[in-house]
Structure 1
Amino acid sequence: MKKILFASVLGLSLLSCKENKSRNAPAVENAVDNAESSVSGSLKSYRKDNMIDQIYSELIKNDKSLKALDDKLIQLSEENGKVLAIYGETLQKSESFYADAYYQAGTIKDSLLKQKLEKEIKISSDMYDLKISKVKELIAKVNTNNDDINNLYTAFKIRKTLPEIEKYQNAHPMKTDQLDNFINKQNQLLNELKNLK
């Protein structure tokens, strides 16, 4: 008996899902309906499968100026990485050298030699820090500019896609009649089940 009831409940659920799908066909085609799960080309956000990036990617397909802007930002982002990598490698090697020098000097048993060597390392390290202070300042400025560019572009994409999600919402009105009908079916089945003996 339980198997028959379960099968009928499952059948009703599947039937109502099929009815809902056919009735909820999109009335107007828009960027939200066309948005793909994987965004191609666009400068992406950190989240995977980001709806804003998916919708914006659809908008780019039909707008040459948006595509040109996106391409410019992608190119600038790639250049940013390359420029910082050039300086980053040199800075990293120098920092690693001084860290290793301090560590190895710390293993010397002769305390006078150890002190003298640590002093020499510190003088060299301080001189290097002074020499690269301008470089570090400029790297910080590059990073700040990059953050500002990303923030402004994210805000632009959100503003550009807001009308698209609103268009999608208008094309997919959330009427309650199907839910009401389904709840009535559920209630009928609930009453049947309650009356079973």
Structure 2
Amino acid sequence: MKKILFASALVLSLLSCKENKSRNAPAVENAVDNAESSVSGSLKSYRKGNMVDQIYHELIKNDQSLKTLDNRIIEINEESSKVLAVYGETLQKSESFYADAYYQAGTIKDSLLKQQLEKEIKISSDNYNQKISKVKELINKVNTNNDHITNLYTAFKIRKTLPEIEKYQNAHPMKTDNLESFIKKQDQLLSELKNIK
């Protein structure tokens, strides 16, 4: 009998919540005051992703100097990749050769010949490494500069978009009355459930 009363009370409560939900739908819609901000358009079409980049993209649309800066960053990154690829390919081929030469020398059964070959390979490899030490130093500098450019541009974008998200927040203040009203409904249902015997 208690189970039937409990089930009946639960069904009635759920039905009354559904009725109240349809009556209170406008309250949910009005939970946020929707004034326009400079980035409201991009945030309306917000999809999961990088919010900083989405807002910054909106800013770029209306600011030629930001668009120019963004294009320069893209160009320097593309150029950097091309420059490094040319050197990387040559370096990779030489490293692969020395690795293969050591491996093949290791398969030689004549220990004296094997030692002699390994010594010749090491001399050639050391000479090559000495020749390209400046190149490797400059490649490291290019990579370090790439990291600095990326870090500084990321910091710039964050600083540029912080005021925009704050404008959006100020243009969309959230009301508490809808939440308070809903909590009262929850409390009422909790009270009823506690008193069911």
Name the TM tier (shorter chain): 0.7 to 0.9
Work out whether residues 33 and 168 of structure 1, in 8 Å CA contact, stay in contact via their aligned partners in 2: no
Moved more, 2-11 or 169-178: 2-11
Could you say which residue in structure 2 is the equivalent of 1:163?
A: 163
19, 28, 42: which one aligns with 1:20: 28
Structure 2: runs of 5 or more not aligned: 1-6
Alpha-carbon shift at residue 12 of structure 1 (Å): 6.8
Work out whether residues 32 and 164 of structure 1, in 8 Å CA contact, stay in contact via their aligned partners in 2: no
Amino acid in the other structure paired with 2:18: G
Alpha-carbon shift at residue 185 of structure 1 (Å): 0.9
Residue 137 to residue 32, structure 1, CA distance change in 2 (3 Å): farther
TM-score, with normalisation over the residues of structure 2? 0.85
Partners of 1:69 and 1:167 in 2: CA distance: 24
TM-score, with normalisation over the residues of structure 1? 0.85
Moved more, 25-34 or 75-84: 25-34
Amino acid in the other structure paired with 1:78: E
**Residue-by-residue CA offset, 1:72-92 (whole Å, 9 max, x unaligned):** 110110011000000000001
Alpha-carbon shift at residue 11 of structure 1 (Å): 2.8
Structure 1: runs of 5 or more not aligned: 39-47
Partners of 2:16 and 2:157 in 1: CA distance: 45
1:130 maps onto 2:138 in alignment: no
Could you say which residue in structure 1 is the equivalent of 2:104?
A: 104
RMSD: 2.4
| Equivalent residue runs for 1:48-67 within 5 Å | 49-67=49-67
Could you say which residue in structure 2 is the equivalent of 1:183?
A: 183
Could you say which residue in structure 2 is the equivalent of 1:94?
A: 94
Larger RCO: 1 or 2 (CA < 8 Å, sep 6+): 2
Partners of 2:96 and 2:25 in 1: CA distance: 62
Work out whether residues 108 and 114 of structure 1, in 8 Å CA contact, stay in contact via their aligned partners in 2: yes
Partners of 1:154 and 1:179 in 2: CA distance: 37
Work out whether residues 33 and 171 of structure 2, in 8 Å CA contact, stay in contact via their aligned partners in 1: no
State the SS of the aligned residue for 1:138: helix
Could you say which residue in structure 1 is the equivalent of 2:18?
A: 11
Work out whether residues 98 and 121 of structure 1, in 8 Å CA contact, stay in contact via their aligned partners in 2: yes
Residue 28 to residue 115, structure 1, CA distance change in 2 (3 Å): same
Q: How many percent of aligned residue pairs carry the same amino acid?
A: 66
Work out whether residues 52 and 161 of structure 1, in 8 Å CA contact, stay in contact via their aligned partners in 2: yes
